């Protein structure tokens, strides 16, 4: 249950979070000023403590070791090409047995992708694009930035939720929207538009480092665009990610400039055959996903899970 998870997460945080810190991020190349942010050690502790609970709450890992090993092998190869000390993080990659389209990461190197999203893909480069994007959130320390901003400006999200809902158990989980309780604040794993675009750019870098055709990232955005229509099941994903159309332009520009050399280059591939043989064919033989929560249909002012994705993101 989310309530138990948040208690565990609060318990692992060390007393006396540093007031502020400024350092250059090796992945992004920009300086980060983190007011009331997490230290690297706290990020590791937070991710390690939260990962088992998040996995359980989203239906557990897909019940096929070979499929999970496949996802892990791709993620580990991407993480190995990250900057500075990031390859040494205790990276973990989990394919959640969930019918909710989503992907997210926890600080310290814990990356999650839902089975529902993975089953929409047609090649390995698309999977690498999603994993690379989530790796980018970790290497850019976006969660610590998010928390720092929430604390610095007294973001009232936790207070609003606590005041309007007496029972928060599983409400965010039911919609597939990951949330952490840090020092008494509910912090959605929701990033700014700039952070999402930054994670996209980093994901492309890690893809190309591993000889994937970055066109796979464009294909992922097309999947999300198609799923964003009525009944597409992307409500939860859009609560934590900007609309696909806002990301396509940047990806196209990077492919046409920085990564132009990858196009029509046999050294950079999509790998559809390997993906179908080692991944999709095995998934299709499995029972339906365990985590298949009903989405609420009636609007209720005291229940944020019934709000539209835009409203949830703004409140």
Q: Of 45-54, 75-84, 114-123, 142-151, give the lowest mean pLDDT range.
A: 142-151
The ranges assigned to domains in the chain are 39-285+299-314
State the greatest distance between any 2 C-alpha atoms of the chain, in Å, as a whole number. Answer: 57
Give the model's pLDDT for residue 310.
Answer: 33
Reported as a single tens digit per residue, the pLDDT across 198-217 is 999 999 999 999 999 999 99
Q: Mean pLDDT across the chain, nearest whole number?
A: 79
Residue 307: partners with Cβ closer than 8 Å, 6 or more residues away:
299, 315
Percent residues over pLDDT 70 in the chain: 68
Taking residues 6-32, report their average pLDDT: 62
pLDDT at 27: 97
pLDDT at position 313, please?
37
168 class by beta-carbon count within 10 Å (0-12 exposed, 13-18 middle, 19+ buried): buried
pLDDT digits 0-9 by tens, 218-260 = 999 999 888 876 555 455 445 545 567 779 999 999 999 999 9
For strands 31-35 and 20-24, give the pairing: antiparallel
Average pLDDT score over residue span 277-292: 94
DSSP 122-183: -SHHHHHHHHHHHHHHHHTTHHHHHHHHHHHTT--HHHHHHHH-S--TTHHHHTT--EEEET
Predicted pLDDT of residue 161: 40
**pTM attached to this predicted model:** 0.79
Q: Count other Cβ atoms within 10 Å, centred on residue 277.
A: 11
- pLDDT at site 48: 92
CB 275 within 8 A of CB 222: no
pLDDT in tens, 27-79: 999 998 776 667 889 899 989 988 998 899 889 999 999 999 999 999 999 99
Lowest mean pLDDT among 98-112, 175-189, 262-276, 299-313: 299-313
Least confident range of 24-38, 82-96, 182-196, 219-233: 182-196
Q: Count of alpha carbons within 13 Å of 304, Cβ hemisphere only? A: 32
Task: Please state the rounded mean pLDDT for residues 86-100.
Answer: 97
Q: What pLDDT is attached to residue 286?
A: 96
């Amino acid at each position: 249950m989310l309530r138990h998870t948040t208690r565990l997460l609060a318990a692992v945080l060390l007393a006396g979070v540093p007031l502020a810190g400024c350092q250059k991020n090796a992945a992004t190349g920009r300086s980060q000023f983190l007011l009331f942010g997490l230290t690297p050690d706290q990020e590791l502790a937070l991710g390690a403590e939260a990962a088992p609970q998040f996995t359980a709450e989203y239906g557990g890992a897909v019940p096929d070791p070979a499929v999970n090993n496949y996802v892990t092998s791709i993620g580990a190869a991407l993480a190995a090409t990250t900057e500075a000390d990031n390859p040494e993080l205790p990276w973990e990659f989990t394919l959640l047995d969930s019918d909710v389209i989503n992907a997210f990461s926890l600080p310290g190197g814990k990356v999650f992708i839902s089975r529902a999203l993975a089953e929409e893909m047609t090649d390995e480069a698309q999977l690498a694009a999603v994993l690379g994007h989530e790796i980018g959130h970790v290497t850019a320390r976006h969660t610590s930035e998010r928390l720092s901003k929430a604390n610095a400006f007294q973001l009232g999200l936790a207070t609003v939720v606590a005041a309007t809902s007496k029972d928060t158990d599983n409400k965010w989980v039911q919609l597939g929207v990951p949330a952490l309780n840090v020092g008494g604040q509910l912090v959605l794993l929701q990033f700014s538009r700039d952070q999402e675009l930054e994670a996209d750019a980093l994901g492309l870098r890690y893809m190309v480092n591993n000889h994937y055709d970055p066109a796979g990232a464009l294909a992922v955005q097309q999947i999300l665009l198609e799923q964003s229509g009525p009944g597409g099941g992307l409500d939860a994903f859009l609560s934590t990610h900007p609309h696909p159309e806002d990301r396509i332009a940047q990806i196209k520009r990077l492919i046409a400039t920085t990564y132009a050399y990858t196009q029509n280059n046999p050294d950079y591939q999509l790998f559809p055959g390997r993906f179908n043989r080692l991944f999709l064919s095995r998934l299709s033989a499995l029972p339906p996903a365990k985590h298949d929560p009903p989405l609420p249909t009636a609007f209720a002012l005291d229940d944020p899970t019934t709000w539209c994705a835009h409203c949830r993101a703004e409140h």
